Structure 1
Amino acid sequence: MKGEFMDFDEAVEHYLAGRPVAEIAAGLGLKSTGSLNERLRKAGVPKREPFRRGRRKDEIPGLEEAAARYLRGEPAEALAAELGVDRTTLDRRLRYMGISPADRAFAEEPVEPRRARRGHNGNRKDLPDEEIAARYAAGESVSALAQAYGVSRSVITRRLDEAGVAKRNRAQAMSMRMKQTPPAERKRLAQAAHEVRRSMGDHLPASLLRARARERNFRQHLRIGEEELAAMLAERGYPPYFQKALGPYNVDLCVPPVAVEIHRSTAHPLVNPMYRERARRLIDAGWRIVFVWLNPLNGKQAPKKSAWALPTPVLADKIVAHLQAARRDPSSVSQYRVIRGSGEDAPFGSLDPDQRAVIPAPEGVPYPPR
């Protein structure tokens, strides 16, 4: 009852006596019946039969003998018919006795296995099972065998199962089919596939769609320093876009024609070949790129492990100056710059801005060519 407390041994006695599990869990001070069931399972307490409304039927006579015969390998359907119950009832009673199909072990003289399924008229069609198995192993498909013997695919599949033949999966079946297909037929199939693809028209590449989806859900991708720098730029009259999609790429902050990438690492931003290629494509599309290089705090400066230095107002002023210069002289947009979070200029790295193509940034947002 509510407010009544008991020890675990007493709880086990109440459980075996049929007391409701919710009351026992409350008596032990547990918050859920699941916790009680887990403790009972670990203690090896047998699971009791669930409560059913109405009067429980008497125990099935001969159930223990049927269980022993079941373990010896006799089919459950035949045992259920002898006991006068259905198969579901017998399976449930066997589970309550702790018997599962995995426990079955065939005796030295196994019981005759259940007969194969019959057709609707009760007659099993006489087919050369060994020949079917041999032809399937040689590479013929289930469909071809079914057509050859005038039966359905399910009949061939069932005969292969009875013969213990391992069936091919879809990839193996397709590989086997292509090996047996003449070159002219393979060419015809490939041509048909190409025609279907061409009829679908040109669609946006998946990389563009992913970039646009990331821009729509930019809040899920905000990282250290981005919101702080965005707030500083907004105070200076240049509110940026977050995770702006520029073709297949997303830049951390964007105030056209300047794209700001915040780099959190001890290494130079352009050490990574992927970042160099990304920068080349964006510069070729007419964007100025500012790499903000944030370094980790060391020693007493770090409030916690792996803390990063945040952008400073000096950095925000330099980005604004860079942006204003780009808007005054659109012909100089195809450049890049690396600035530390403190506002100090960093080395350019291996990307030479003099070798970049000078393409003025258009009014909208261009897509870098790939």
Structure 2
Amino acid sequence: MATKLPADEVIALYRQGSNLRDLADRYGCAPNTIKRILERHGVPRRGSPRRPTVQLPEEDVVAAYRQGGTIAGIAAQYAVHGSAVRTLLVRSGVELRPVGRRRGSTGKSTKSKKSSLPKREVIASYKRGSTLKVLAERYGVSPSTICVLLEGEGVERRKSGDWESVPPPRVQLPVGDILQAYAAGDSPRAISGRYGVSVSTIQRRLREARSASSRTRKE
């Protein structure tokens, strides 16, 4: 795998601030593969990985948290680490809730949060192949909340392996926008969080786009 990667490009991105995990996601390999490339070319490792500073919309983040969103859910929405969201909230003077408790948690929080979700949209996304975890991160709730909504609407839950015989419909994604974001330095993980799909889905679309581009050049 390491010999097939563009070493010069990997080194340049690493020196610009990308960390091993970002680069591994970008090229669809293990972080150790990136590490071996850097070591082979004598690139000194950074003491701690650095990510570009992301400017979060303070008012939107605060509003989302006060409406019951979790730090993890908001972080997933903006493709940042939870510590970035927590720091912003503290700096804005927001009183943080105890870990694991949502706003107004009295045993009825799941029911209240479930009723505020766009049911048709959630059900349609689930039937197209989105997992409970992906939907939970997209709407800033727990997977169990999504599960309760689906069961309440009579939606049959998928079992492990259900997609092996009948694959889910292909999710429609703006491939052009994804390619631009990737070319600008965004990692597949960051892009996947933006569109609410798995990292492997983004990696697959990038591979397909590269193959199509290669075939076009050959023709």
TM-score normalised per structure 1: 0.17
Name the one with the larger strand percent. Answer: 1
Name the one with the larger helix percent. Answer: 2
